[in-house]
Structure 1
Amino acid sequence: MKKTLTVDVAIIGSGTAGLSAYRAAKLKTPNVVMIEGGQYGTTCARVGCMPSKLLIAAAERAHQVETSEKFGISYNGEHQIDGRQIMGHLKSERDRFVGFVIEGVNAIPEQDRLVGHARFVDQHTIKIDDDITVNAERIVIATGSRPSYPPAWNKLGSKVIVNDDVFEWDELPKSVAVFGPGVIGLELGQALHRLGVDVRVFGMGGKVGPLSDPKVTECAIEVFKSEFYLDVNADVKSIELSEDGSAVEVTHINLNGEVETFTCDYLLAATGRRPNIDTLDIQNTDIALDERGVPIANPSTMQTSVPNIFIAGDASNQLPLLHEAADQGFIAGTNAGSFPDIESGLRRSAIGVVFSDPQIGTVGQTHHQLTNQYHGNFAVGEMSYVSQGRSRVMQQNKGLMRVYGEFGSNKFLGAEFFGPASEHIAHLLAWAHQQNMTVPEMLDMPFYHPVIEEGLRTALRDLNETLRSCNCPKEDCSNCTPGC
């Protein structure tokens, strides 16, 4: 039955950003609807951060068994990994997390929930399938993103998979080729390797995870390569199905410079994600798009070039992280609800963590961003985890930390690091960054002994010495940071 609704705010999408936008908009106006074209349950809970951490937790337990000899704990080399039990536990806990999200959605009044594929008719009108027309004064796009890979790989049929598919396995495969050593590829690739899967990780351009600092990148690559097959500059000659269609054959130049064919059960595509914008008929609006076809939005207000349309979460392709999606959704929903009164929302310091082992952390401005902004004229402090006391005690003394500061102001600018407990150190640094602390102020904070955080103090001390011995020219220099 066809019907037409008139609302103040329409939210397209019910993921983390959409739910946050809905709740924020409802605080400003009662007439809000949320439209969902797929399953309820956020990307994080269903196919992202939570199920991946469950797989990683199992992998860490297996790895601890294998690396206990130095502590005098014997290991005979033959512990059994029950892939079916691992995946059963993962899916059970995953479903529990998804259930909490669905409970939250079900608490939303039924009249505020619309189901179907939404597409723009114009800047105030949304069509849902062929049944419902929504006339909305304001609209928030919160449609999320999906995995993306080269179309040529579709010839592999069910043998090409994405992270979503991994979490539907009933049993672990024998072998997997992972393409893309970014966050997803590193986490899943290493976890599968530690659970007994024959894994090879292929990349391009020498990158690993979110790192841009060349020294930290080099350290991370060497550590990962010592554990599992990783080629960040892979020369792949061909990717084909086997003759009987039961496997994938990846022919490449291996790390020894020889031509080799790796035959595996699956090709896991971890080559990036694509904002779900292309199915919205966005061309029926006047929204300005970037070169990727993604709406351009003000990061402080999440307002697009069309004043009554906002965007939030992975669909905006700004920072595809859960906490960012929640913040963006709140900003977009608040402004959509109170339109035309628009306010800048709270944007927090950038923080990122990769749950590999060792973990990767990034805070504030990256090495790449600072190089572009300051033309290389910024201070760097460094600390190796190799001799760091607490890390060595735990036999986790691998990695490198690099912290950045501004000459003259002594302001802490950011950090990239690869080492144990990076998820915790990242939070300390992000709080300091958001408070605009200087490096001397950070060094005035308490550090216990013996803890891994003492390594952070070592890096900050090194950075402080560099800041105090600024060698910038005395005369005015447009390429130098303030104070030099």
Structure 2
Amino acid sequence: MTTHRADVAVIGAGTAGLSAERHARRHGARTLLIDPEFAGTTCAMAGCMPSKLLIAAADAAHGARDAGEFGVRTSVDVDGPAVMHRVRRMRDDFARGVRQSIDDLPDGTCLQAKAAFEAPGVLSLDTGDRVEARAIVIATGATSAIPKPYEAVSDRVLTNATLFDIDDLPGTLAVIGAGPLGLEMAQAMHGLGVRVEVFDAGDRLAALPQETSDALKAALSPHFPIHLGCTPEPSPDTDGVALSWDGGSARFERVLIAAGRPPALEALALENAGLTLDDHGTPVFDPQTMQCGDAPVFIAGDANHDRPLLHEASDEGAVAGRNACDYPNVGATARKVPLRIAFTRPEVAVVGTLPDADDDTHVTGRADYSDQGRAKVMGQAVGMVTIHARTSDGCLTGAAICAPQGEHLAHLLAWAIQSGLTASDVLDLPFYHPTLAEGLQPALREICKQAGLEKPWQRDDDPLPGSHGGKPRG
């Protein structure tokens, strides 16, 4: 048995763990990075990148299939094996880049093993070795879970960890979970010719506000069924899975479980770490320092399940790594404006903080993208944007988006919110015509009017033709 000693030990070599190790080392710490596989990040292997590769293939098929609207005649023949081969080839290239960055770490930094707490500050490894560290960062990520009812049909079940390894597209697919991943993959598979149905026990899509969820459902449901408030019962069927639910039943070749990814904490023996755990078994931590209580333990990324997104994991890893290095001199870091995006078509996003329905300290403006000029030109006139601001000063605080190319609108609004801009400030910025961004102006004007901040030159007395679907008045 060998005892490895370090200033900072990081458990997990995903986005958060790599960021934590790098920042701790840059601040002068002797670091150890512990991972059982060093296979690459979730983003590269089973998340952001392969899912967007599949969506890109579906976009190409959809564009060709719907080109007739623009007077372009074409036909579509989807080669499933070729689609999946490109997904894997490019995914593996992204993952290879991550593994190369790991290979470039200083000698002796990486320990390939599974780690568990033996005592505060002490880790036992499944290799028989031990690690003693002045501070420890937990960055174990999250894991795909198969609900118990689906264990009997597990040979037909896919998760984000296995979806991109299939050799060919299935003929039919049931998607369990109407979160971002479930909806993205459902729409992509549908665009590639797969018969898809989506099931979710909740009453909203992708944890969106009701109004935005309704707009997204209106855009998606004409193409494939979405069953909300529904928990289907699976059973084995010849070469597939039979699902039955209140009011229906159907058979599918495959089932994609996209109903959430719990933090991967069970194997860590957290009971030996001297930490306070919440009702879900997650260490209680400060999101501005990433510290667990007052212990020399920090938790970052999907493992804490606070903001399970890549850019947040990278930021949290940086904060955790710096504070682990400097412990006990722990410093708080202001968090960026919350931003989450689902790459459905239309894209949806939630930016900042959304007020409660009965909150009278905020005003709300709406922009209708089903009647927006550039969206009509693109043949994508669908959706809406809701923007919120403080009544007292018109400062933007949050937004919910369902609109074509909503990822770009979300970034613009996130930057405006984090910069402390008012709706009036944003209206004084340039809006090019014709663009999707100028479609935000009606919502911003509505906020200014409600908050009493309207300026004469910002009124919508004579809008540009087609800027948001209306004709010039006056």
| TM-score (structure 2 length as normaliser) | 0.93
Secondary structure of the corresponding residue to residue 108 of structure 2: helix
Residue 226 (structure 1) aligns with: 222
1:326 aligned onto 2:314? yes
Written as runs of structure 1 = structure 2, the 5 A alignment for 1:124-139 is: 124-139=121-136
Mapped contact 1:27–1:337 kept (Cα < 8 A): no
Question: Which consecutive unaligned segments of at least 5 residues does structure 1 have?
Answer: 254-258, 471-484
- 1:430 aligned residue (414, 418, 441): 414
Distance 1:235 1:108, change over 3 A: closer
- 1:168 aligned residue (165, 168, 171): 165
Cα distance in 2, alignment partners of residues 232 and 467 from structure 1: 37
Residue 45 (structure 1) aligns with: 44
Deviation at 1:95, TM superposition (A): 0.5
Q: Output the amino acid matched with 1:224.
A: L
**CA deviation vs aligned residue, 1:148-182 (integer Å, no higher than 9, x gap):** 34222111121122111111011111111001110
Cα distance in 2, alignment partners of residues 130 and 80 from structure 1: 51
Residue 204 (structure 2) aligns with: 207
Secondary structure of the corresponding residue to residue 161 of structure 2: helix
Secondary structure of the corresponding residue to residue 444 of structure 2: helix
Residue 448 (structure 2) aligns with: 464
Question: Which consecutive unaligned segments of at least 5 residues does structure 2 have?
Answer: 455-474
Mapped contact 1:15–1:142 kept (Cα < 8 A): yes
Mapped contact 1:149–1:272 kept (Cα < 8 A): no
**CA deviation vs aligned residue, 1:58-112 (integer Å, no higher than 9, x gap):** 000100111122211124xx52100000010110000000011001000002301
Mapped contact 1:327–1:346 kept (Cα < 8 A): no
Residue 244 (structure 2) aligns with: 251
Secondary structure of the corresponding residue to residue 274 of structure 1: coil
Residue 356 (structure 2) aligns with: 371
Secondary structure of the corresponding residue to residue 361 of structure 1: strand
Residue 190 (structure 1) aligns with: 187
Cα distance in 2, alignment partners of residues 21 and 376 from structure 1: 41
Deviation at 1:130, TM superposition (A): 4.1
Runs of 4+ in 1 over 4 A off after TM superposition: none
Mapped contact 2:38–2:99 kept (Cα < 8 A): no
Distance 1:277 1:418, change over 3 A: same
Deviation at 1:395, TM superposition (A): 0.8
- 2:339 aligned residue (351, 355, 366): 351
Residue 113 (structure 1) aligns with: 110
Residue 236 (structure 2) aligns with: 241
Cα distance in 2, alignment partners of residues 295 and 442 from structure 1: 40
Secondary structure of the corresponding residue to residue 414 of structure 1: strand
Cα distance in 1, alignment partners of residues 14 and 344 from structure 2: 25
Residue 256 (structure 2) aligns with: 268
Cα distance in 2, alignment partners of residues 163 and 5 from structure 1: 34
Deviation at 1:55, TM superposition (A): 0.2
Residue 28 (structure 1) aligns with: 27
Residue 389 (structure 1) aligns with: 373
Written as runs of structure 1 = structure 2, the 5 A alignment for 1:73-92 is: 73-75=72-74, 78-92=75-89
Q: Output the amino acid matched with 1:169.
A: I
Secondary structure of the corresponding residue to residue 262 of structure 2: strand
Mapped contact 2:200–2:231 kept (Cα < 8 A): no
Deviation at 1:263, TM superposition (A): 0.6
Deviation at 1:184, TM superposition (A): 0.4
Mapped contact 1:10–1:140 kept (Cα < 8 A): yes
Residue 452 (structure 1) aligns with: 436
Deviation at 1:222, TM superposition (A): 1.3
Cα distance in 1, alignment partners of residues 37 and 15 from structure 2: 14
Cα distance in 2, alignment partners of residues 326 and 170 from structure 1: 32
| TM-score (structure 1 length as normaliser) | 0.91
Mapped contact 1:59–1:191 kept (Cα < 8 A): yes
Deviation at 1:346, TM superposition (A): 4.0
Cα distance in 1, alignment partners of residues 56 and 207 from structure 2: 21
1:361 aligned onto 2:376? no
Cα distance in 2, alignment partners of residues 469 and 240 from structure 1: 60
Percent identical among aligned pairs is 35
Deviation at 1:347, TM superposition (A): 1.4
Residue 272 (structure 2) aligns with: 284
Mapped contact 1:383–1:400 kept (Cα < 8 A): yes
Mapped contact 2:394–2:447 kept (Cα < 8 A): no
Mapped contact 2:361–2:392 kept (Cα < 8 A): no
